[in-house]
A and B are shown apart, each in its own frame.
Chain A
Amino acid sequence: MNSEFKHLVKPISLIIILLVLFLSIFKLGFNQINLIMAKTNESKETQRLLTSKISILETVNETIANDITYVDIALPSKGSVLYGLSQIKKQAKIYNVIISNLKAGVINLGENGVSRNSLTFDAQGEYNEIYSFLSSFNKVLPLMNLDKVKMDMTDNVTHAAVTVSVYSADLPQKIPSVEESIDDFSEDEINTLRSIAGYELPEFFEPTPTESEARPNPFE
């Protein structure tokens, strides 16, 4: 029995060493390979994302070459009240409406980063002209909402007390990282851009071409 055991000690030890080596290589080797494969896949995903981002950015100028200034003025970061007052006076002149008691209210910080200012004024003129004047606020920049109107028709003259809202919003404070994905413009966004480009600008604002103009970085 003793000699049998002695004879088998060497091969059995060899098998045990082999098994230990197998297990160690499996654990270490496969872990390393899995790790590097995961990193490779991650890099491939980043590559796909960056490629799509470049193709989107290359077409941005085609979509918003001239519309950016309209968007800026549609919802300015500041000066919305001045633009609004200018627009009210401009439209009043167009529709032969007399404006008085023009007042700006206190700014209201609303949700979603949009602040609202109320502008109140009295308007006087013929009913049809007042109606056209009020309707014109649907197609002007900056964007304005008619909140309420009270009209009094006496002696063939219409007197209207009007409240409109003008809006402003802060610019985004940080630019997303290079590796962050971006979405191209949706159909709705393109339609909004196109419709805004047809709106009337306030009197003291002229859009400037943006193609070769270097804009200051608003994120710095």
Chain B
Amino acid sequence: MEKKINLIPSEMAVPPKTIKVGKLIYKIATIGSIILVMIVTLSISAFIYFKFELGKINSNNDDLKSQILVLEQSDQKLILTKNRLAKIEVIKSMPSIKDDLIKFNDVTTLLSTIPETELIDVSIQPSKTQFSVNSKNSSSFAEFLEPISKLTKYKNVILSSFNFNQNSGIISDLLMQR
């Protein structure tokens, strides 16, 4: 039987436990190296894939941009129209007597139905309408005052002045607020 001769002094010999640990570390390092290579390969592949994808999207975007340049006239038209429309909304929101004029038509319609009553003058400003009415006698004045005070379109109806004259009759000034 072959006999192994160890000439290394026993105190210099590496203990078998250490040899085992060393081998284990080598194994771990080998597995780690394989994983590292795999990660590097995957990363490079992913990078190349995304780079290719990005190039494709960018070239598609360039095509789309040139299509937009062809539609430049429509683009200008849209921007100009939107700009005007936004400003038209600003104008529409500005104070005007548009609604006051429509409301005052109710007053004139009412006056036309009352005998011996006539409108003398009217001043219409945004949210405020002032007018004077001449009623020939007290009954026509009362006939006019009753429905006018019930006009729901106005928030306030104020009889601001009241004059009586033998020749012309009753002249009343009214202030209507909405």
Using a CB–CB cutoff of 8 Å, the interface residues on chain A facing chain B are 3-4, 7-8, 10-12, 14-15, 18, 21-22, 25, 29-30, 32-33, 36-37, 39-40, 43-44, 46-47, 50-51, 53-54, 56-58, 60-61, 64, 67-68, 71-72, 74-75, 111-114, 116, 127, 131, 134-135, 138, 143, 145-154, 165, 167, 169, 171-172, 175-176, 178-179, 182-183, 185, 189, 192-193, 196, 210, 214-215, 217-219
Q: How far is the CA of A183 from the CA of B101 in the complex (A)?
A: 37
Considering only residues 71-104 of chain B, those with a C-beta below 8 Å from chain A are 71, 73-85, 87-92, 94-98, 101-102
Q: How far is the CA of A214 from the CA of B25 in the complex (A)?
A: 79
Q: How far is the CA of A197 from the CA of B109 in the complex (A)?
A: 32
Whether A145 lies near B96 (C-beta < 8 A) is: yes
Whether B74 lies near A61 (C-beta < 8 A) is: yes
Q: Within the complex, which residue of A71, A150, A175 is in contact with B121, where a contact is CB–CB below 8 Å?
A: A150
Whether B76 lies near A218 (C-beta < 8 A) is: yes
Residue among B57, B78, B118, B124 with the highest chain A CB neighbour number at 10 A: B78
Q: How far is the CA of A56 from the CA of B102 in the complex (A)?
A: 40
Query: Does B166 sit within 8 A of A, measured CB to CB?
Result: no
Query: Does B6 sit within 8 A of A, measured CB to CB?
Result: no
Whether A33 lies near B50 (C-beta < 8 A) is: yes
Whether B84 lies near A75 (C-beta < 8 A) is: yes
Whether B47 lies near A131 (C-beta < 8 A) is: no
List 9 A–B pairs whose Cβ atoms lie within 8 Å, in order of A's numbering.
Answer: A4-B15, A36-B54, A47-B61, A57-B68, A145-B96, A149-B97, A153-B120, A172-B83, A192-B89
B interface secondary structure, majority: helix
Interface residues on B, range: 35 or more
Asked whether A169 and B29 contact (CB < 8 A) given A75-B91, A152-B121, the answer is no
Q: Within the complex, which residue of A15, A112, A153 is in contact with B32, where a contact is CB–CB below 8 Å?
A: A15
Asked whether A153 and B118 contact (CB < 8 A) given A14-B29, A54-B64, A138-B98, the answer is yes
Whether A29 lies near B40 (C-beta < 8 A) is: yes
CB distance from A100 to the nearest CB of B (A): 18
Q: Within the complex, which residue of B58, B69, B101 is in contact with A146, where a contact is CB–CB below 8 Å?
A: B101
CB distance from A194 to the nearest CB of B (A): 12
Q: How far is the CA of A181 from the CA of B84 in the complex (A)?
A: 19
Residues of chain B with a CB closer than 8 A to A127's CB: 108, 119
Query: Does B178 sit within 8 A of A, measured CB to CB?
Result: no
CB distance from A139 to the nearest CB of B (A): 11
Q: How far is the CA of A4 from the CA of B13 in the complex (A)?
A: 8
**B66 nearest CB neighbor, chain A only:** A178
Whether A150 lies near B26 (C-beta < 8 A) is: no
CB distance from B173 to the nearest CB of A (A): 14
Q: How far is the CA of A206 from the CA of B94 in the complex (A)?
A: 28
